[in-house]
Chain A
Amino acid sequence: MSDHDVSTWRQRFLYTAPADDRSRMRAVANNLILHLHPTKVPAPALRWTYTWGLGGISATLAVLLIITGVVLMFRYDASVERAYTSIQYLETEVAFGSLVRALHHWSANLLVVTAFLHLVRVFLTGGFKVGRAANWVVGLILLLVVVAFNFTGYLLPWDQLAFWAITVGTSLLSYVPLAGTAVANFLLGGPEVGQAALRNFYAIHVAVLPAILILLMSYHFWKVRKDGGISQPPSAPGERVERLTTIPHLVQIEFAAAAVLIMGLFLWAVFVPAPLEALADPGHPPNPAKAAWYFLGLQELLLHMHPLAALLLPGLVLAAFVAIPYLDRQEDNVGTYFRSAVGRQIALLGALYAVGLIPLLVIIDEYWLDFPALLPGLPTLISNGLIPLLLTLGGLAALYLLFRSTNKANKSEALVGLFVFVVVGLVLLTLIGIFFRGANMALVLPF
């Protein structure tokens, strides 16, 4: 064996990086996985406080979920008679069964958080600007795919949470005019959550969604490169941005982040097993019947509005998110958190308004405001649906105009304020749903 052969083998198995920059760049270009990266990255793009590594963490979680998910498939039985017992068996009899299930469960929960924070980060730094609109939309679809994964996944244990969360979630669909009931029946394979629904959700969860996820993730990564790397502030004319080789500068950070993440998850999963409620009982919903925690913000809306309005509101917000690259076309402020000093101030105001207003509105609506009683002649679809929906949208519009006029914000900065208000509002509604709703979904104190 020649010296050359020895060094190549060492590189392959001991992960020794090649010695000079040129060979390091070639190593990236010639490797399937590393080829997702450019051979060199701008030094500012590597700042941890710019990305917080959220995209990479989400991707790592997706890989963990696929691995643990495939392992779980060997022990899970998608039938109404045996699904719950197969989970109990996993938890008590199968070697490392509880650990694998806990890893899958907690990774899925964490992915909702990191994917959402990734969206927030990309919005706040203007990552959808300068030709990145398409990838922003793909990212939004990926977030919906993650939510769909969680929705289909939590039916599978066939416990009380599973059964009632899916019953309530699919009943929501029946409020969509014209096609709603047909779509709900199609998804469930019948009028009620039963064997057909479990089978359908299992197939969607383990085959349809993973295929979509892998395709879209690949596209998402490829497009980042195609768009010239992640968003960065425009450089001044004549300024030269330092560019570092991907090996070791980027790969080292990614490797360290993945190692810390996986270690943290394992520790957490060892000590906190995935929850499993009582066996699903179609005759007796639990009280309170709550959805999984990440849907409780939407469930909170249901307590205040007609279901169609409670569906339309997040739908409209989502549509606005899709439209954001077309609403905020100012390109010179890309790559700076909150756009500018004014934007920072507006964002703080947006957060403060949300903290002040949202809990207050929830309390007022809970105890005093009753549109159907105030307007007895009108159908509830209008009195409890259209009116609160229009009031909410009107409030958001008023907030935008307030930022524009009194705070002298430009379009881009005012949208940051509105975005922060909506995001903080959603987080607050979710917290209210998790901690402040007790029996009969009445407002309670958690302590």
Chain B
Amino acid sequence: MTEQTNDTTKLSRRDFLKLGVGALSALALLEVGGASLMFLQPRSLEGEFGGQVIAGLVDSFPQGSVVEFPDGRFYLIHAPDGGFLAVYRRCTHLGCTVEWQPDTNHFFCPCHASSFDIVGDVENPPAPRALDTFPLTIDAGQVIVDTSTIRTRDNFTPEQLVYA
């Protein structure tokens, strides 16, 4: 004990070892935690959903029609004014699948009775925002929908429509 100085800025050998063990343990914990998170990270669903879907020729969708693409999880809307829009079929409230009801011209969610109009705008809450959309391009008369990116929107605006 007589060897020890009172100088607190100096690190004793014991404190150094304590600190070292503590720091290394914290590092090890971080590594294990990080590795576990990486091990468990979400696996993407390759092939089924999340790729490019060629919906078909522009002319095959009459104006004012809504066609369901179950594998792509979307509805292709050919709006009455001629624009195209692809909406994700997942209700923005709590994720149930909305159903297109052609006789009343709206999308309906049976879980909590939200409804949306033909361009996906909220007609009846509890849904907090319009149906999400997928980027859509028209190439050589073909409608192509990219299901890898989900776009959220608060409500419908005319710029969201894509024209042939």
Contact A196 B95 (CB under 8 A): no
Chain A residue nearest to B109 (CB atoms) is A285
The CA of A306 and the CA of B109, in the complex, are separated in Å by 16
Give chain B interface residues in 25-54, CB to chain A under 8 Å. Answer: 37, 40-45, 49
The answer to whether residues A380 and B42 also contact, given A289-B110, A441-B111, A441-B113 and a CB cut-off of 8 A, is no
At the interface, yes or no: B96 with Cβ under 8 Å from chain A? Answer: yes
Contact B96 A167 (CB under 8 A): yes
Contacts of A306 in B (CB 8 A): 126, 128
Among A194, A200, A285, A384, point to the contact of B111 (Cβ < 8 A): A285
The answer to whether residues A188 and B42 also contact, given A168-B95, A168-B96 and a CB cut-off of 8 A, is yes
Contact B97 A186 (CB under 8 A): no
At the interface, yes or no: A30 with Cβ under 8 Å from chain B? Answer: no
Give chain A interface residues in 300-320, CB to chain B under 8 Å. Answer: 302-303, 306-307
Q: Which of B95, B113, B150 has the most CB of A within 10 A?
A: B95
Contact B42 A190 (CB under 8 A): yes
At the interface, yes or no: A288 with Cβ under 8 Å from chain B? Answer: yes
The answer to whether residues A284 and B128 also contact, given A185-B42, A289-B111 and a CB cut-off of 8 A, is no
At the interface, yes or no: A192 with Cβ under 8 Å from chain B? Answer: yes
At the interface, yes or no: A372 with Cβ under 8 Å from chain B? Answer: yes
Contacts of A284 in B (CB 8 A): 97, 99
Question: How many chain-A residues does the 8 Å CB contact rule pick out?
Answer: 36
Chain B 123-139, CB-CB to A under 8 Å as 1, else 0, gives 00110100000000000
The CA of A186 and the CA of B41, in the complex, are separated in Å by 6
Give chain A interface residues in 246-296, CB to chain B under 8 Å. Answer: 282-289
Chain A 189-223, CB-CB to B under 8 Å as 1, else 0, gives 11110101000100000000000000000000000
Contacts of A79 in B (CB 8 A): none
The CA of A441 and the CA of B95, in the complex, are separated in Å by 16
Interface of B is mostly: loop
Contacts of B42 in A (CB 8 A): 185-186, 188-191, 196
Contact A307 B97 (CB under 8 A): no
Can you list 16 A-B pairs with a CB-CB distance of less than 8 A?
A168-B94, A186-B42, A194-B45, A196-B42, A283-B70, A284-B99, A285-B111, A286-B110, A287-B110, A288-B110, A302-B126, A307-B93, A372-B125, A384-B126, A440-B110, A441-B113
Q: Which of B42, B70, B113, B150 has the most CB of A within 10 A?
A: B42
Q: Closest Cβ of chain A: how far from B116's Cβ, in Å?
A: 15
Q: Which of B49, B93, B110, B113 has the most CB of A within 10 A?
A: B110
Contacts of B37 in A (CB 8 A): 186
Q: Closest Cβ of chain A: how far from B102's Cβ, in Å?
A: 16
Interface extent on B, as a size class? 20 to 34
Binding site for A on B (CB under 8 A): 37, 40-45, 49, 70, 89, 93-97, 99, 109-113, 125-126, 128, 150
Among A188, A189, A285, point to the contact of B110 (Cβ < 8 A): A285
The CA of A167 and the CA of B41, in the complex, are separated in Å by 19
Chain A residue nearest to B44 (CB atoms) is A190
Chain A residue nearest to B70 (CB atoms) is A283
The answer to whether residues A196 and B110 also contact, given A171-B94, A306-B128 and a CB cut-off of 8 A, is no
At the interface, yes or no: A231 with Cβ under 8 Å from chain B? Answer: no
Contacts of B109 in A (CB 8 A): 285
Contact B96 A289 (CB under 8 A): yes
The answer to whether residues A302 and B125 also contact, given A167-B96, A186-B40, A283-B70 and a CB cut-off of 8 A, is no
Contacts of A189 in B (CB 8 A): 40, 42-43
At the interface, yes or no: A128 with Cβ under 8 Å from chain B? Answer: no
Contacts of A164 in B (CB 8 A): 96, 111
Please give me the 3 A-B residue pairs with the lowest Cβ-Cβ distance, nearest first: A171-B95, A287-B110, A289-B111
Q: Which of B41, B111, B126 has the most CB of A within 10 A?
A: B111
The CA of A115 and the CA of B160, in the complex, are separated in Å by 52
Contact B96 A307 (CB under 8 A): no
The CA of A381 and the CA of B129, in the complex, are separated in Å by 11
Chain A 409-447, CB-CB to B under 8 Å as 1, else 0, gives 000000000000000000000000000000111100000
Give chain A interface residues in 134-192, CB to chain B under 8 Å. Answer: 164, 167-168, 170-172, 185-186, 188-192
The CA of A129 and the CA of B157, in the complex, are separated in Å by 59
Contacts of B44 in A (CB 8 A): 190
Contact B43 A190 (CB under 8 A): yes
Chain A residue nearest to B50 (CB atoms) is A191
